[in-house]
A and B are shown apart, each in its own frame.
Chain A
Amino acid sequence: MAERSESEEVKLLGMWASPFSRRIEIALTLKGVSYEFSEEDITNKSSLLLQLNPVYKMIPVLVHNGKPISESLVILEYIDETWRDNPILPQDPYEKAMARFWAKFVDEQIYVTAMKVVGKIGEERDAVVEATRDLLMFLEKELVGKDFFGGRSLGFVDIVATLVAFWLMRTEEIVGVKVVPVEKFPEIHRWVKNLLGNDVIKKCIPPEDEHLQYIRARSCVLSLGFV
């Protein structure tokens, strides 16, 4: 059992509808770390946020014993190295590198491309959908024969790829395009079912109805479907 002193203070500055903030909550909850959550209004950022993340002025920011850490992938690795229960990254250096690779792929390739779907119409949108699907195919192949990207249990890539399961796939309703149809992506759909069978995931993802409302409202205003 991880030792926790009385003075250990864990605070998370986040936002309820952000995939980057939710993934931190998943990791902390998975490891049984108690934390104080501070909801940020990203249209009106608190002076605390600006002070703790002067470089990017964005959530999530984890504060552990007064020390702030920003950038969700950096935070996840810090959490894994600090609280050793239920490790989320593999031990083996090569497996670890592969997990980090796929996580980066989700955030830098899939997220960036998929974001462009909302706000586009006709041929332009079809092209983006096609590009997103090409990228998702890599994830599809990674899941073959596995319950989760992490193998038998949730790992780093699963936590990061919740962006696909509960953000990208939730946007489908609003944009009216099945970006991830089950016939093309049976493994991904199976994986989402597995995720939904996990108590930590169920607890930490945004409630569906409110989330869909939020996405709908945001996609009317901006061409961004997520945060």
Chain B
Amino acid sequence: MTEKEESVKLLGFWASPFSRRVEMALKLKGVPYEYLEEDLPNKTPLLLELNPLHKKVPVLVHNDKILLESHLILEYIDQTWKNNPILPQDPYEKAMARFWAKFIDEQILTLGFRSLVKAEKGREVAIEETREMLTFLEKEVTGKDFFGGKTIGFLDMIAGSMIPFCLARLWEGIGIDMIPGEKFPELNRWIKNLEEVEAVRGCIPPRDKQIERMTKIAETIKSA
């Protein structure tokens, strides 16, 4: 096969779990890409042109094709660069990966971020609700090195970018130990495994900078 003129660009944001997970996939598959940092909220004309509908990162540009929405981008990457597959082959396993991915970005994010910060029913209730949801994930990863099995996959990238490398920084910033070792031994083991993976290591936002940012956002949400 002749070498093609491949151009891969990613518009992202250092603190966005949605953008970071795409980087994990590209790094895992060894896909060279040009990274363009968006200075949110000052959106560049390029972003507004590529994603007029949502005006959000990440945006993947592969040759002349524009891809939006992190889950869709990950699936596209998996179908386009076939080495180191991130989705399971089996349709049922694939369905489960997609189901939990949706769950993380919808339920865990909502309960573990906005609801928690607003804590309309009180902080303890919010923590309990978040932990209830996290228990589903605890079960899913039991007995496995990663959600994907022996190697990281789609769900690891989504859960990893969202939970330990985003929400956990918020929780730390507002003084909550959301996933203590004694309650969530499997998730904690999984996080340690994740941190050893090279493709993941390069995609973890700097801790202190992120804690600072998440704490600020929390204050904005609270006072809104």
Contacts and interface: CB of A to CB of B under 8 A. Distances in A.
Chains A and B belong together in one complex: yes
A77 B69 contact: no
30 contacts: A55-B103, A55-B107, A55-B136, A64-B92, A67-B92, A69-B96, A69-B99, A70-B99, A71-B98, A71-B102, A74-B95, A78-B91, A78-B92, A78-B95, A81-B91, A81-B94, A82-B91, A93-B76, A93-B79, A93-B80, A94-B67, A96-B76, A96-B79, A100-B69, A101-B68, A101-B69, A101-B72, A104-B69, A104-B72, A138-B53
B214 to A, nearest CB: 24
B129 interface: no
Nearest to A54: B136
Interface in B47-78: 53, 62, 65, 67-69, 72-73, 75-76
Interface size class for chain B?
Answer: 20 to 34
A75 interface: yes
Contacts of B99: 69-71, 74
B65 A94 contact: yes
B86 to A, nearest CB: 14
Given A78-B92, A93-B75, A100-B75, 11 more contacts: A69-B92, A69-B99, A70-B99, A74-B99, A74-B102, A77-B95, A82-B91, A94-B76, A96-B79, A97-B67, A104-B72
Given A55-B136, A74-B102, A94-B67, A69 B95 contact: yes
Given A55-B136, A97-B76, A100-B75, A78 B94 contact: yes
A55 B95 CA distance: 15
Interface in A82-98: 82, 93-94, 96-97
Contact of A77 (B53, B68, B98, B103): B98
Interface in B11-69: 53, 62, 65, 67-69
A100 B96 CA distance: 17
Interface residues of A, number: 21
A97 B75 CA distance: 8
Nearest to A79: B91
Contacts of B91: 78, 81-82
Contacts of A81: 91, 94
Nearest to B94: A81
A94 to B, nearest CB: 5
Contacts of B53: 105, 138
Nearest to B98: A74
A75 B53 CA distance: 26
Nearest to B67: A97
A152 to B, nearest CB: 23
Contacts of A93: 75-76, 79-80
Q: Identify the interface centre among B67, B91, B95: most chain A CB within 10 Å of its CB.
A: B95
Contacts of B103: 55
A78 B96 CA distance: 10
Nearest to A105: B53
Nearest to B89: A81
A37 B96 CA distance: 22
Interface in B69-124: 69, 72-73, 75-76, 79-80, 91-92, 94-96, 98-99, 102-103, 107
A158 B136 CA distance: 33
A69 B95 CA distance: 7
Contacts of A67: 92
Contacts of A105: 53
A52 to B, nearest CB: 12
Contacts of A74: 95, 98-99, 102
B143 to A, nearest CB: 18
Interface in A43-72: 55, 64, 67, 69-71
Q: Which of A55, A82, A97 has the most CB of B within 10 A?
A: A97
A62 to B, nearest CB: 9
